[in-house]
Chains A and B, each alone.
Chain A
């Protein structure tokens, strides 16, 4: 089944992804980002890339889609650098599964 890929985040960070053929949705406020993600999840988007700066504001929305097979919400850094939220999520997964951090 064919799926689409979306990028959500502040305008400066997401624009370059347009050249790759991703669907770009600029969201200026966390509220807007949340609505965008919810509406994208309803459609057949398989992967949603979200900037970390935005992800910081809406952790509960991301958590809601963690248990679903799709969409996969993947955090990407923006031009100001990584906020380490993506890394923290990996560490959380390790701790949840193994019981302690082995990385």
Chain B
């Protein structure tokens, strides 16, 4: 390990000792942060994986059903049916702080104008396949929204974990050994100087007698 390029003086020694103390404390804190992030991340990513599997499966089925329904109807009718949606979803994003990672916390509220009349389109230009596919998609909605939140959180946490790991490693394997070696070098050098001056004084004394 290369030692730092500093002059071996008492001043530097005390400076380096301070830096070593700070680096060690920083390393311990970052290590704790990394461990906690990792613990939470692993729980989240498992859930994310499971949820995505489910959503993808159900969504694909629902979309297939929709395509079948659509093929039975004239395209302009379909567009007319969907022209005015009877629901609106509003989304509130608040930033939540997990171990200094800002993650979005999404709150969804679905406003349905009239809950009792579920199908807001005419019976004439639609068919039961369409009802079915829309039902399915509506059922997926909560899961889909939950997936969005978890997936974004995982994404952000993964970035932060990578960053933290780099910092921890840089401190552990580069900065701290470097400082330790330099401190050792300066201490040795100072002791050597001391011995040299003692010998010199003894020599000078001998000359006097």
A residues with a Cβ closer than 8 A to B are 1-5, 12-13, 15-22, 46-47, 49, 66-67, 69-70, 72, 74, 76-79, 81-82, 86-87, 89-90, 93-94, 96-98, 102-103
Contact residue range for chain B?
35 or more
Task: Check A19–B87 contact: CB distance below 8 A.
Answer: yes
What are the interface flags for B126-165 relative to A under an 8 Å C-beta threshold, 1 for contact and 0 otherwise? Answer: 0000000110011001001101110110111111011000
Residue of A nearest to B58 (CB): A77
Task: Check B106–A93 contact: CB distance below 8 A.
Answer: no
Task: Check A72–B45 contact: CB distance below 8 A.
Answer: no
Residues in B neighbouring A3, C-beta threshold 8 A: 90-93
Task: Check A93–B91 contact: CB distance below 8 A.
Answer: no
Residues in B neighbouring A21, C-beta threshold 8 A: 85, 87-89, 110-111
Residue of B nearest to A92 (CB): B158
Task: Check A16–B92 contact: CB distance below 8 A.
Answer: no
Main SS of chain A's interface residues?
mixed
Task: Check A69–B89 contact: CB distance below 8 A.
Answer: no
Residues in B neighbouring A13, C-beta threshold 8 A: 63
Of B63, B79, B90, B92, which is within 8 A of A77 by CB? Answer: B63
Cα-based distance from A22 to B38 in the complex (angstroms):
34
Residues in B neighbouring A76, C-beta threshold 8 A: 55-56, 59, 144
Cα-based distance from A79 to B152 in the complex (angstroms):
24
With both chains docked as a complex, state the minimum distance between the C-beta of A51 and any C-beta of chain B, in angstroms: 10
Residues in A neighbouring B48, C-beta threshold 8 A: 90
B residues with a Cβ closer than 8 A to A are 38, 41-42, 45-46, 48-49, 52-53, 55-56, 59-60, 62-64, 66-67, 70, 78-79, 82, 85-95, 102-104, 106, 110-111, 133-134, 137-138, 141, 144-145, 147-149, 151-152, 154-159, 161-162
**Between-chain CB contacts (< 8 Å), 13 pairs:** A3-B92, A3-B93, A16-B62, A16-B66, A16-B137, A21-B87, A46-B91, A74-B151, A78-B63, A79-B64, A93-B155, A103-B46, A103-B49
